[in-house]
Amino acid sequence: MAKAISFTIKYWKQNGPKDQGHFDTHEMKNIPDDTSFLEMLDILNEELIAAGQEPFVFDHDCREGICGMCSLYINGTPHGKTERGATTCQLYMRRFNEGDVITVEPWRSAGFPVIKDCMVDRSAFDKIIQAGGYTTIRTGQAQDANAILIPKEAADEAMDCATCIGCGACVAACKNGSAMLFVSSKVSQLALLPQGKPEAAKRAKAMVLRMDELGFGNCTNTRACEAVCPKNEKIANIARLNREFIKAKLAD
């Protein structure tokens, strides 16, 4: 049977990227501990609207840990998780204690300007993909997938890299705001497959260059990105990205 907890939520309010922003607080009473974190925020907004206050803006979509939209910094950790492999929408209030103060902030990065409150503009990731995260080779239809023989180990690793949902937790956790784990995962999923070879000589170079142009920092080698990734992407991908980048530079 679900228990009810009461706590204080401290949430970030900011009217756009040029606004200074501030924290507001609200007392949450008797919230069932089987409530998801986003459902709790829905309750918060219902109470704020009932009190004639402006609701708290946050991003979300699938609420199933698939899309990565629920990009919240909770109690100093992206997605606020206490275990690996979970997004904010998969976080439940049973993870918190009676009387806790829960602090909610947006992703903080030069590459992710705040739209409003905790909703940030992550279109920079789309621009990085447009720079090189694609293939031009004709691969046919789904039924043609087995026409190209690929070692199972390579296919499995490529699929693991492809599970990156582009949520940006790696950027939020990195003290330098680096997007290297995201970029390396997207480069790796193609570098491991024969379909990705035609653009291999330029893909890593183009995507890293675009990442730098968009304001993301360099890798800090602290593995903070790996520790918070909800899809458990590995920093071994960054090593592969570096190899692909060096090969592209040598090809020049």
For residue 12, the cross-strand partners are: 23
State residue 82's pLDDT score. 67
Cα 237 to Cα 251: distance, rounded to the nearest angstrom: 21
What DSSP string describes 95-161? GS-TT-EEEEE----TTS-EEETTEE--HHHHHHHHHH----S----GGGGGGS---HHHHHHHHHH
Alpha-carbon gap, residue 33 to 21, rounded angstroms: 30
pLDDT tens for the 252 residues of the chain, in order: 679 999 999 999 999 999 999 999 999 999 999 999 999 999 999 999 999 999 999 999 999 999 999 999 999 999 997 667 899 999 999 999 999 999 999 999 999 999 999 999 999 999 999 999 998 888 778 777 778 888 999 999 999 999 999 999 999 999 999 999 999 999 999 999 998 988 888 899 999 999 999 999 999 899 999 999 999 999 999 999 999 999 888 877
In this predicted structure, what is the pLDDT of residue 230? Answer: 95
With the C-alpha atoms ordered 231, 232, 234, 235, is the resulting torsion angle positive or negative? positive
pTM of the model: 0.92
Domains of the chain by start residue, with CATH: 4-106 (3.10.20.30), 121-251 (1.10.1060.10)
Q: Which of 104, 81, 80 is nearest to 25 (CA)?
A: 104
How many CA atoms within 13 Å lie on the side-chain side of 102? 28
Q: Which residues pair with 8 in a beta bridge?
A: 27, 101
pLDDT of residue 22: 98
Q: Are 12 and 117 in contact (CB under 8 A)?
A: yes
pLDDT at position 105? 97
Q: In angstroms, rounded to a whole number, what is the distance separating the alpha carbons of residues 84 and 100?
A: 22
